[in-house]
Amino acid sequence: MATELSTRIMANPDYQALVRERNTFAWWLTQLLCVVYYGFILLIAFNKPLLAMPLGEGMATSLGIPVGFGIILLAVTITGVYVHRANTKYDAAIHKILAEESRP
């Protein structure tokens, strides 16, 4: 029974569209984070003096600290954006598909 239901769900065009949309959105978020992260790494490799600049005169904290912290916050934010979308849009679509396919 479960195999038959899962086969019907996977054949459902709405489910296939949902999977495509979800994967596309996830890849865009992944690419955004990769560009930012690897950009930071390249900045460290090719322009160390920029990130080593103190935030203010006489300050020990360099520009690299808040930039690195910002990248961590971006990762958390991107995760939150995906979770929010999954809990609202994707879950609702899955429940609708399950309700349609579970009917005899």
pTM listed for this prediction: 0.81
DSSP, collapsed to helix, strand or coil, labels residue 12 as: coil
Answer for the pair 89, 26: CB distance below 8 angstroms, yes or no: no
Q: What is the dihedral of CA 54, 60, 66, 68, to 10 degrees?
A: 100
Q: Residue 103's pLDDT is what?
A: 75
3-state secondary structure of 62: strand
What letter represents residue 28's amino acid?
W
The pLDDT mean for the chain works out to 92
CA separation for the pair 22, 67 (Å, rounded): 29
Over residues 3-29, the mean pLDDT reads: 91
Q: CA 53, CA 10: separation in Å to the nearest integer?
A: 54
pLDDT value, residue 102 = 78
Taking only the tens place, the pLDDT of each residue in 45-73 is: 999 999 999 988 888 899 999 999 999 99
